Amino acid sequence: MDKKMLEIRKELVRQREELLSEAEQTINSKLITEKQSFPDPTDQAAAELDSNFTLRLRGREQKLLKKIDEAIARIDDGSYGVCESCGNPIGMKRLAARPVTTLCIECKTAQEEEEKRQTG
């Protein structure tokens, strides 16, 4: 594993640990909020709205966590940095900017254009 791949792997591990820590904090604060009693229904509704928003964010982060785990596994097995669509190498600038990517810039651009055609 070259130096740049090692740096990317370390960054992915750091991001993973940060996401897990934030998720733990969310669970702990949710438990505290559930135990609280709000005399005003408006306060209760606002607390529930905040809680639901936070849980939706954590749901997105869970998807990112899965991508991070998959990227780390690809680094470890040597398949990291290869486009899963065309098989060409993914540029280091792209990997540095988006370390969980599985597509080279050309394939990602084509995918986004196809999505635009399907929705537009």
Q: What is the CA radius of gyration of the chain?
A: 20
Residue 66 has pLDDT above 80, yes or no: yes
One domain, residues 57 and 105: no
pTM value is: 0.74
How many domains does the chain fold into?
Answer: 2
Look up the CATH number of the domain holding residue 53.
1.20.120.910
CA distances from 53 to 22, 30, 48, 57 (A): 14, 12, 9, 6
One domain, residues 24 and 39: yes
Residue 22: the pLDDT is: 85
One domain, residues 30 and 65: yes
At residue 35's C-alpha, the angle toward residues 29 and 37, to 5°, is 115
Give percent of the chain with pLDDT exceeding 90: 58
One domain, residues 71 and 95: no
Domain span holding position 43: 1-80
One domain, residues 45 and 101: no
The residue among 33, 38, 37, 73 whose CA lies nearest residue 55 is 33
Q: Which helix (H) or strand (E) holds 55?
A: helix 41-77
